[in-house]
Chains A and B, each alone.
Chain A
Amino acid sequence: MIDYAISLLTLALINAIIVIGLNVRWGWAGEFDLSYYAFVAIGAYTTAVLVGPPSGGPDPLVNPPDGWILGLHWPFIPSALIAMLVTGSLSAMLGAVALRKLRGDYFAITTVAFTFIVTLVFSQNFRLFNGFLGVFNIPQPFYDFLHQPDIFTYNLVFIGLCFVCLAIVYVVTEWLFKSPFGMTLRSIREDEQASAAYGRDVYIAKLKAFVIGGMVAGLGGSLFAVYLSSWNPSAWSPIEGFLIFAAIFLGGQGNVRGVILGVVIVTILIPESTRWLPEFQRRPDLYPALRNIAAGILILAVLRWRPQGIIPERHLNDTRASAGFRIPLLPQTRTPGA
């Protein structure tokens, strides 16, 4: 039971890191980015092939077959940093193409195309990513370093690692939020022509947000890969990407705490909510369907009655000047059509 709770909490922490990256890209800069989960996958793959076991071992269930050129058996931290570098630079490349002139739907379509390309490369490239089989037996970070502790101790170590990563990402994004850079991004979301008229380079600011979000996705993906200890093209699907969007809607677009709450609800609480119900014989698909229905109803309800999300975006308020940043006590409403 406690093992199970720890495992769930770990997943929540990783998902929280992942959702924060999308919040920078979509919640602040405002571009509807459907490629985000592809960057999570790229991060996961990069770490997986760097820390993974080399090919050609005696046991095909432990080591991938010959012909796989990676599997470098690196330690986790440099691998995760490389993964962030890879997702950051790929974000810069995609952003340089897609963010310069494309807006709205056209931008979204371009990011979908990118996602399909990435999926194809991962599932067809054998020498780098082991094709459709994917990477398995990914070693756990610090497991050997800690002289192979028992599972329970190790799970505590891993959850600590995830917590430290989330804390760093959270603090940095909060600083960004309060800074002139974060405010510039949110102004671009509201009206990018007005931002340009006041001297903001809209393209560069969006590109920066895209790269920062991409790096966070890379970190989240790295942790996800080692948490699952295997990664292949079927481990991620567009539907997961939409769940993260749903989490942002639900929690409160733009608010870091809000989106963390949203992701916990969408990816943990709703899936777990039906676990304690009695099982129906010959109806194994009932509860999964119920979960999806529950998630859908919840999102509709929030959009109807609380469109700003459970915890709305905060503002650099002035009436409590010394406190500086506070959650509004009364929900501030945007005028219709905002």
Chain B
Amino acid sequence: MPDAEIFLEVTHVAKNFGGVRAVVDGWLSVPKGTTVGLIGPNGAGKSTMIEMISGFLAPDSGKIILAGEEIQGKPAHQVAERGLIRTFQTPREWRGLTVMENMLLAADQKGRDAAWRAIFARRKLRAAEQLDRARARELLERFGLLALRDEFAGSLSGGQKRLLEFARIAMRSPRVVLLDEPCAGVNPVLQRNIEEAIVGLQQDGITVLLVEHNLPFVERACQDIYVMAQGTTIAEGSLAELRKVPAVIDAYLGEVEAIA
């Protein structure tokens, strides 16, 4: 996609943990409205990249540009406010709160969670909450969770938690989503649901960066794929193109596809 506007660009980031060089030279760029994959063997530095982009870790060097603004080293909540939402490898629902409360919390607050508003702007807050509730009900219906809306999120099954994760993202409707292995440990039926959910995100115009090991899935979902190995981005292209790159075959595809 040479012409599309680059929405998220990571250039030459590096991160060391003590003596461990988790990321040496990570780079990628995600054009607006596309889905980009990030693959590579375990320990390649993919998750560290996600952590750095989302603000949970500060890179030692390099630049991360989100919608024209440098965000490297900014705390996670500021990155989230700029429209970037990430998931974790395991679903991270607020387990002692209900599904509906999880949805309400996921909605963009636009400053509504300031403490003084709780006392001096109660009517506005209630009106906003009613709108959020209506929207949350629609989305929960779409994800098949409506009947469970007053259950504790912690009491959902693993698969339902994954779906709640996507429902929360849809509730937020961010500009870009980082999905950290959404299909890890998921059965084939649910995998199809998740794939549909990702297609749904694309249809909503949300830009997606997807870290995943399931290559057929990555191939179907992503327009462009980056490969990382030993902390370095080593190649970029479609999966068909990547299959021809010897370095990629050595580092990753050789092993994975031989097994598959």
Contact = CB atoms under 8 A, between A and B. Distances in A.
A191 B112 contact: no
Given A184-B105, A196-B80, A334-B96, A175 B122 contact: yes
Contact of A175 (B55, B86, B118): B118
A32 to B, nearest CB: 16
Contact of A317 (B80, B100, B117): B100
Interface residues of A, number: 40
Interface in B70-109: 75-77, 80-81, 85-88, 92-98, 100-101, 104-106, 108-109
Interface string B110-134: 0011110111001001000100010
Contacts of B55: 196
**Residue of A196, A317, A335 with most chain B CB atoms under a 10 A cut-off:** A196
B100 A187 contact: no
A196 B75 contact: yes
Contact of A193 (B92, B113, B136, B168): B92
A318 interface: yes
Given A180-B113, A196-B77, A334-B152, 13 more contacts: A179-B122, A180-B104, A184-B105, A184-B113, A190-B97, A191-B93, A205-B113, A315-B97, A316-B100, A316-B101, A316-B104, A318-B100, A319-B150
Interface of B: 54-56, 75-77, 80-81, 85-88, 92-98, 100-101, 104-106, 108-109, 112-115, 117-119, 122, 125, 129, 133, 136-137, 149-152, 154-155, 168, 172
Interface in A64-100: none
B117 A179 contact: yes
Nearest to B111: A180
A315 B118 contact: no
Interface in A172-188: 172, 175-176, 178-184, 186-187
5 contacts: A181-B115, A191-B92, A198-B80, A199-B77, A318-B137
Q: Which of A193, A316, A321 has the most CB of B within 10 A?
A: A316
B150 A190 contact: no
B96 A181 contact: no
Contacts, number: 136
B52 to A, nearest CB: 14
B129 to A, nearest CB: 8
A12 to B, nearest CB: 26
Interface of A: 172, 175-176, 178-184, 186-187, 189-191, 193-202, 205, 208, 212, 313, 315-319, 321, 332-335, 338
Given A198-B172, A319-B150, A179 B95 contact: no
User: Which of A190, A202, A313 counts the most B-chain CB atoms under 10 A from its CB?
Assistant: A190
